[in-house]
């Protein structure tokens, strides 16, 4: 009976410890990954700004040249907002203006997911990108914000 009680106490302590410190877990970035993003200002700046269009529609792409800021979208642990730059009618860059950065877990997720999402959008030339595993909320908010930015560029 004494061994059983000790075993239950040890298992209970382990479960309590695991439960309480689960939120402090940090995922490791894959080898060779770097974070080129610095933490963004998480306070809402401009929800949508007018496009800084140069010459209307140009080139063979389907968008008007300029910089377009998407809407601020909720990603559960913070807001996501992106800016799309269009040159010669094509998406040339997508930058995160806001992303969840108040928890170490959010920072590590976004350090991994943000470059992937930006690159996918440039390759696809649209907001129709695959979700990044482990960053579903950020991916969905990215898609919504980029969709808004690109709708301004049409």
Residues 95-126 have pLDDT tens digits of 999 999 999 999 999 999 999 999 999 999 99
pTM score: 0.62
pLDDT at 135: 93
What pLDDT digit, counting tens, does each position of 62-87 carry?
A: 899 999 999 999 998 899 999 999 99
CB 128 within 8 A of CB 147: no
* Residue entry with tokens 């004494």: 2
Q: According to the model, what pLDDT value does residue 141 have?
A: 96
Q: What's the pLDDT at 23?
A: 47
Q: Residue 62: what pLDDT?
A: 86
Domains and CATH numbers, the chain: 61-154 (3.90.1010.20)
Structure tokens, 69: 């800021």
DSSP letters, 66-87, are EEEE---EE-SSSEEEEEEEEE
């Amino acid at each position: 009976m004494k061994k059983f009680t000790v075993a239950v106490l040890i298992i209970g302590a382990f479960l309590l410890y695991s439960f309480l410190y689960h939120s402090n877990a940090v995922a490791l970035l894959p080898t060779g990954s770097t974070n080129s993003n610095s933490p963004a200002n998480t306070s809402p700046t401009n929800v949508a700004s007018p496009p800084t269009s140069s010459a209307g529609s140009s080139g063979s792409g389907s968008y008007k040249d300029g910089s377009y800021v998407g809407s601020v979208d909720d990603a559960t642990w913070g807001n996501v907002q992106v800016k799309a730059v269009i040159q010669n009618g094509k998406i040339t860059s997508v930058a995160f203006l806001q992303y969840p950065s108040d928890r170490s877990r959010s920072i590590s997720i976004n350090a991994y997911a943000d470059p992937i999402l930006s690159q996918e959008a440039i390759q696809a030339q649209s907001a129709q990108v695959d979700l990044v595993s482990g960053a579903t909320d950020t991916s969905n908010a990215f898609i919504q914000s980029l969709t808004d930015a690109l709708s301004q560029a049409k």
